[in-house]
Structure 1
Amino acid sequence: MRVAVLSPEAVPYSKTGGLGDVAGALTKALRRTGRADVALFVPLYERVERSLLDKVVFEGLEVEWAGRRYIVKVWYSEASGAPTFLLDLPDYFARPGIYGYGDDHERFAFFSHATLVSLKLLGGPPDILHCNDWPCAFAVVELSRWRAHDPFFAQTRTLLSIHNLAYQGIFDASLLPKLGFQDQQTIDLFLKDGAASALKAGLMAADWLSTVSRRYALEIQTPEQGYGLDWLLRARRDRLVGITNGIDYEVWDPETDPFIAAHYSAADLTGKSACKVDLLRRFGLPLEPSRPIIAIISRLVAQKGYDLIREAADALLETGAYFIALGAGAREYEEFLQSLRDRAPQQVGVYIGYASEALAHQIEAGADIFLMPSLYEPCGLNQMYSMRYGTVPVVRATGGLDDTVEEFDRARRTGTGFKFRDYRAEAMLESLYEALYCYAERDLWRAIQINGMRQNNSWEAAAQRYLDLYRAIVG
């Protein structure tokens, strides 16, 4: 089966969040099954390390689009573990960031179109065009039109994966003709509340839809988390599947991780103590490893529960635990974290910004508790990284967090973490207090750690579920 995966980001080339991890890891896992001829397509951004690129496959790919003729260089790489084609057009992609530009709709509409053009020159047609999030929804819409008159794509079926429904690619509908969408039937696919939504068009045009956890597939069909598209997702629920993301154990494994101070395993947790001391040193905190470390790594946005953390800040400090945060985002949350650090410099460590991947690994290895009080969370990866590293997650029971974290049962010593349901600071603190009580009982805490470290959240299992879905779509 031939599968073409389109993503606006993918590790190790580009990443702003979980989508980058997913796109890179899934294609590698699919290739390893030996049951899919998979290729990954991503833009070549300014931030991509050129040492990752192997060769140029097209020096001058001619792309006619929006009344203009573009010349695109296409690079090839296998640094992700799967064949990857990176489309190089400096006018659109040679910028410091990946998103956040006024012409993002145009940039990704071009990427989608150019990828379809390149596919026709790279061998036989794909059986599945697997597109990720709104930036690649343009390709779904284009292909649905091309199939009617282009024999090359006549049998290609489309899957659109929703990683976060809140991001819908909204832009001025009057710009649709410029992007090549001129007939009224296609324009109607995009229209939402007087504007154009790339995601809405993709959801309507795709053969099948998927999202990144079973729970999130249900949540997005409700008005509370449907962001104005719940009616559409309910209408298409027979073509909507939730597949929980996996994690790449080659990258996230405390037994082999090159970024951490000492290696350890479920059989021997000794090295985790060395990682904890190393983390305290990195943040200039007192070397008192008996005190628990509560950590969070996330974008600094309301979705991640920072309103709850801000409300509970005094109570957090009163526990005596260290608090370490890594991330960047909204200025109000950056200022809050900095002020918290200023108030308690011997207890709080903060890194504002997108640090190297190494620091994220060091936090996962050195922390005791990982906090994820998300308002909503389509899947989440850090709770799975944390369990692998013997760092106990405290999460809100939403989306993939609810699917992947099992509430710890003291009597039976089963479960992998602690969950709260109500989006309230008091509920979050109750779960944190319970975790801290268990931390004080070392045998009990070790049991939770080992339970988490023995979970199988590998991409191999998730890749098999995607293969089953691909077969159903083709069938």
Structure 2
Amino acid sequence: MGHDVRVVCPKFGFMKPKPDWIAHERPLNVYMGRDIRFAKVWETRLPDGRSPVYCIEYNEYFDVPTVYASGYLDYEREGYRFAFFSRASLDLCNYLDWIPDIIHCHDWTTGLVPVHLNSRELNQPLGKAASVLTIHNLQFQGIYTSDILEFSGLPRSLFRADGLECYGRVNYLKGGIYHSQKVTTVSPNYAREIQTPEQGFGLQSTLRFKASDLLGVVNGVDTVAWDPNTDPKLPVPFSADNMEGKAACKALLQQEMGLEQGPGRPLFVVISRLFEQKGLDVLMHAAPKVLEAMHVQFAVIGTGEPDLEYGFSELARRFPGRFATHIGYNDRLAHLLYGGGDCIVMPSRFEPCGLSQLYGMRYGTVPLVRSTGGLVDTVEQYDEATGEGTGFRFEHLNPEALYYTIGWACATYYDRPHHFELLRQNGMRRDFSWAEPAKRYEDIYRWAYQARNGRGSVIK
């Protein structure tokens, strides 16, 4: 689209420089309040070779084995880690002598960037840069004691209800929401939901205040990496025009997961982190009744909460040949589940966007989802009268509702096979590329820039 796009991220300890990475010789000065810290800058490029990626190395905060905190002490340190990163990202622009029109921030970890920008006058470097903040999951907010303000170099005057303060503590995400010109999230329905007490995680009033600047844009998917007609991880390719290969994928999936062989019964798959957010405790409780009443199979792959890992492993032991569980993640096996499954099950408590249902539809695996968040925006309810739609949705998060919806999908599979095939085809022919979201973000960037610099201002 012709824009000069650059990416900045921390260089964590587990990130090993590759041969094409360039180490900048000059240190990056990072101005943290009264202190100056010296960081190292690594430069590489995105796979397309066009957009540079800058990785900031500062071992005191970034030499860690995982991206996010793993305990209380690390959680407190995480506040300093991302306060440093937010400031370093802005100082990097001056270091590169590159002043962007838009700085697009993601989640609480960059929430202080818009706060820093709004504390600068328009005639200063970066003063005209507008900020857009995308909320991928409102549950995670970055909440710390007010001591963090002195370290960050932000004035104490910003610690107030219409800014960083939230119940007596500093809330990075709240600050980012207040100080950004535009706030986006990853689906229109989720943008509405997070303004309610049920889904607002304490920030619903803040989000309602910013409602005129809050927009939802559904994520796209990489349609090259996720294409069943060219996917090297599938045993046989297939497409909407030639579905023969999907049966071969199902047969191999049954074989590898230890399920009873045969194409006749519907195979429900789960490819997910095994967390309560995903509603998989509800599936765990519904599955025995489903398996006792219906001629179905399940294949589950994922890792997460010990109780869920144990519960799904127990289901596999209790129903051998009909319920299979793989604890862990295997990319090839995940692609095989998408390719060989008949339905992908997502009974989420909340789901900002969801990608698994999009991958499922690309691979002719019909989504069976709870009506929440981005699942509402991306999965069109099946119409029994016409066969239109792309999947099965249910409202209430309980085992009975999930049991009924699985039964509905089974009845369609057995009694209306032409409709089930229509659902596959409808999903496979939907456009889930980044083409439309990219155009939408281009508009949002323009609106944000005008909000920062005046209605008549134009992005260069």
Per the normalisation by structure 1, the TM-score is 0.88
Q: Deviation per CA, 1:339-377: give whole Å up to 9, x if none.
A: 222222322222223x24333222111111100111111
Equivalence for 2:146: 173
Shift in Å, 1:51: 3.6
Root-mean-square deviation (Å): 2.0
- Equivalent position SS for 1:74: strand
CA distance in 2, matches of 1:54, 1:162: 30
- Equivalent position SS for 2:133: strand
Shift in Å, 1:177: 1.8
2:4 is equivalent to residue 37 of structure 1: yes
| Match for residue 274 of structure 2 among 288, 300, 314 | 300
Q: Deviation per CA, 1:19-61: give whole Å up to 9, x if none.
A: xxxxxxxxxxxxxx22x21111122234446448532345632
In structure 2, runs of 5+ residues without a counterpart are: 451-460
Shift in Å, 1:195: 2.3
2:88 is equivalent to residue 119 of structure 1: no
CA distance in 2, matches of 1:309, 1:454: 29
Q: Deviation per CA, 1:252-294: give whole Å up to 9, x if none.
A: 1111112221111000011111111222233233322322211
Q: Is the 8 A contact 2:149 2:156 kept in 1?
A: no
Runs ≥4 residues deviating over 4 A: none
Shift in Å, 1:394: 0.4
- Equivalent position SS for 2:5: strand
Question: Which piece of structure 1 moves more, 378-387 or 405-414?
Answer: 405-414
Equivalence for 2:315: 340
Shift in Å, 1:243: 0.9
Of all paired residues, the percent bearing the same amino acid is 37
Q: Which has the larger radius of gyration?
A: 2
- Equivalent position SS for 1:176: helix
Sort the Cα spacing of 1:151 and 1:179 in 2 relative to 1 into closer, same or farther, 3 A. closer
Equivalence for 1:12: none
Q: Is the 8 A contact 1:52 1:79 kept in 2?
A: no
Q: Is the 8 A contact 1:61 1:74 kept in 2?
A: no
Equivalence for 2:175: 201
2:67 is equivalent to residue 98 of structure 1: yes
CA distance in 2, matches of 1:258, 1:46: 31
CA distance in 2, matches of 1:149, 1:183: 21
Equivalence for 1:316: 290
Sort the Cα spacing of 1:352 and 1:91 in 2 relative to 1 into closer, same or farther, 3 A. farther
In structure 1, runs of 5+ residues without a counterpart are: 1-32
2:438 is equivalent to residue 457 of structure 1: no
CA distance in 1, matches of 2:366, 2:19: 35
- Equivalent position SS for 1:38: coil
Equivalence for 1:25: none
- Equivalent position SS for 2:96: coil
2:241 is equivalent to residue 241 of structure 1: no
- 1:110 is aligned with what amino acid? F
Equivalence for 1:368: 342
Sort the Cα spacing of 1:413 and 1:86 in 2 relative to 1 into closer, same or farther, 3 A. same
Equivalence for 1:76: 44
- 1:44 is aligned with what amino acid? K
Q: Is the 8 A contact 2:29 2:36 kept in 1?
A: no
| Match for residue 423 of structure 1 among 394, 397, 401 | 397
Q: Is the 8 A contact 1:395 1:418 kept in 2?
A: yes
CA distance in 1, matches of 2:211, 2:441: 17
- 1:305 is aligned with what amino acid? G
CA distance in 2, matches of 1:266, 1:44: 41
Q: Is the 8 A contact 2:219 2:434 kept in 1?
A: yes
Q: Is the 8 A contact 1:260 1:275 kept in 2?
A: yes
Shift in Å, 1:96: 2.2
CA distance in 2, matches of 1:322, 1:88: 48
- 1:300 is aligned with what amino acid? L
Q: Is the 8 A contact 1:55 1:75 kept in 2?
A: yes
2:131 is equivalent to residue 155 of structure 1: no
Q: Is the 8 A contact 1:380 1:401 kept in 2?
A: yes
- 2:305 is aligned with what amino acid? A
Q: Is the 8 A contact 2:131 2:182 kept in 1?
A: yes
CA distance in 2, matches of 1:152, 1:402: 42
- Equivalent position SS for 2:437: helix
- Equivalent position SS for 2:397: coil
2:96 is equivalent to residue 129 of structure 1: no
- 1:153 is aligned with what amino acid? L
- Equivalent position SS for 1:254: coil
- Equivalent position SS for 2:251: helix
CA distance in 2, matches of 1:122, 1:345: 60
CA distance in 2, matches of 1:133, 1:456: 26
Per the normalisation by structure 2, the TM-score is 0.90
Equivalence for 2:458: none
- Equivalent position SS for 1:108: helix
- 1:172 is aligned with what amino acid? T
Sort the Cα spacing of 1:278 and 1:53 in 2 relative to 1 into closer, same or farther, 3 A. farther
Pairwise mapping of residues 131-280 of structure 1 onto structure 2 (< 5 A)?
131-145=105-119, 147-148=120-121, 151-186=124-159, 189-280=163-254
Q: Deviation per CA, 1:53-95: give whole Å up to 9, x if none.
A: 5323456323243535233232222226633222222332332
Q: Deviation per CA, 1:297-330: give whole Å up to 9, x if none.
A: 2222211112311221212322232212222222
Q: Deviation per CA, 1:86-114: give whole Å up to 9, x if none.
A: 22223323322111232222111211111
| Match for residue 380 of structure 1 among 351, 354, 360 | 354
Q: Is the 8 A contact 2:346 2:369 kept in 1?
A: yes
- Equivalent position SS for 1:151: coil
Shift in Å, 1:226: 0.8
Question: Which piece of structure 1 moves more, 261-270 or 38-47?
Answer: 38-47
Sort the Cα spacing of 1:358 and 1:43 in 2 relative to 1 into closer, same or farther, 3 A. farther
Sort the Cα spacing of 1:347 and 1:150 in 2 relative to 1 into closer, same or farther, 3 A. farther
- 1:445 is aligned with what amino acid? F
Equivalence for 1:23: none
CA distance in 1, matches of 2:424, 2:19: 36
| Match for residue 423 of structure 2 among 438, 442, 448 | 448
